Amino acid sequence: MTESPPRAWAEIDRSALHHNLQLARRHSGEEVMAVIKGGAYGHGLVEIAKELDKQNLPFLGVANTGEARCLSKEGIKTRPYILGATLQSEREEIAACGWTPCLCSFEEMEHFNLLGKDSPIEAHLALDTGMGRGGFLPHQLGEALEKLSKASGIKLTGVGSHLPVADEDPVFTRKQFELFDSMVESIPGRNEKFHIHLSNSAGLLDYQSRTTNLARPGLLLYGISPLPKYQKALKPVMALKSRISMINHLPKGHGVSYGRTILKRDTKAAILGLGYGDGYPRSLSGKEVSVLINNSPCPLLGRVTMDQIIVDVTELEICCPGDEAELFGPNLLVSDLSKKAETIPWEILTQITPRVTRFYR
């Protein structure tokens, strides 16, 4: 017996990932910490990590110890970097496994110093230059450096900060780059190997720093630009797809889906085997959204249900059960869909559920 194929799947294009990584390197002229938190933005943590592991990157950016452990268990050689503050209960494992934390508070610094008394822990210093999500404020930097100089359990190998509005507010972001650069310049004993990083995708694309030598792109590696003017240079990595299960000829005045959206004309309605249970946002219900079938846009009809959606294929001359539909991908940007769903592409990508089989090519 052969297994039947899934109704909804995601095609992940490895060559597009490499194209985007190359662009990140060339455009920034810096080393890249590939951010693969959130299961590599829904693309599959381990598969994407394996692909990037061949790329000689200094770090893979993960959210927590669970993600770091997945990488270590799979034999990924590139060091996991834990983005953000750590819980006390996570630090023993971080120290033992050689993952790189960023020190976000005096408490974290003191604890890691204790854990590293026999064998020093390589860590970065986190600066809060505007994100408000941990890290040392400008007036705390002197004291932090003072404490670090006496902390024999910690080997400081880098410094970083994060941008809250790089895709929204250039005035604030330019000031933030200046603040970060001047804070970094006051850190003594920086050598060439010392990693200095500030930029996410938008920062990498649109800003310049005097001090940084490492960028932390996430979204752009997956081929989506947070700033539309750079979209053309990127290649979307994921295509979300499904198939027509059946086609209904429904009369004007008939309802479709929960809530009974009333048809305004006689309609050829195709049912697709995917819904919010796969991560296709329910908030797209009633919005002007289309899916692509045989390269033609077919408007969504009625509400998105858990496992199925209905689309209008009246205008399509040829279409039949089994035909493929692209929900988003290279031909229909997830960033356009996210606007209509009143959310951001990061959320849509990470919410594609495990029921959606990922195929890598």
Binding site for ligand PLP (CB under 6 A): 35, 37, 83, 162, 200-201, 216-219, 226
Least distance between ligand PLP and beta carbon 123 (Å): 15
SS3 content of the chain, % helix, strand, coil (to 5): 35, 25, 40
User: Which CB, 296 or 350, lies closer to ligand PLP?
Assistant: 350
In the chain, the DSSP E strands lie at 8-12, 31-32, 34-35, 59-62, 79-82, 100-103, 121-126, 154-160, 195-197, 214-215, 238-250, 255-256, 261-262, 267-272, 290-293, 296-301, 309-312, 324-328, 357-360
Q: Please, which residues bridge with residue 235 across strands? A: none
User: Which CB, 6 or 38, lies closer to ligand PLP?
Assistant: 38
Report residue 33 as tokens: 């910490």
User: Which CB, 39 or 218, lies closer to ligand PLP?
Assistant: 218
Least distance between ligand PLP and beta carbon 124 (Å): 11
Least distance between ligand PLP and beta carbon 138 (Å): 19
Active site residues: 37, 258
CA nearest to 61, candidates 94, 84, 77, 93: 84
Residues whose CB is less than 8 angstroms from the CB of residue 128 and which lie 6 or more positions away in sequence, other chains included: 134, 135, 136, 137, 161
- Select the residue whose beta carbon is closest to ligand PLP and give its number: 218
User: Which CB, 201 or 213, lies closer to ligand PLP?
Assistant: 201
Least distance between ligand PLP and beta carbon 6 (Å): 27
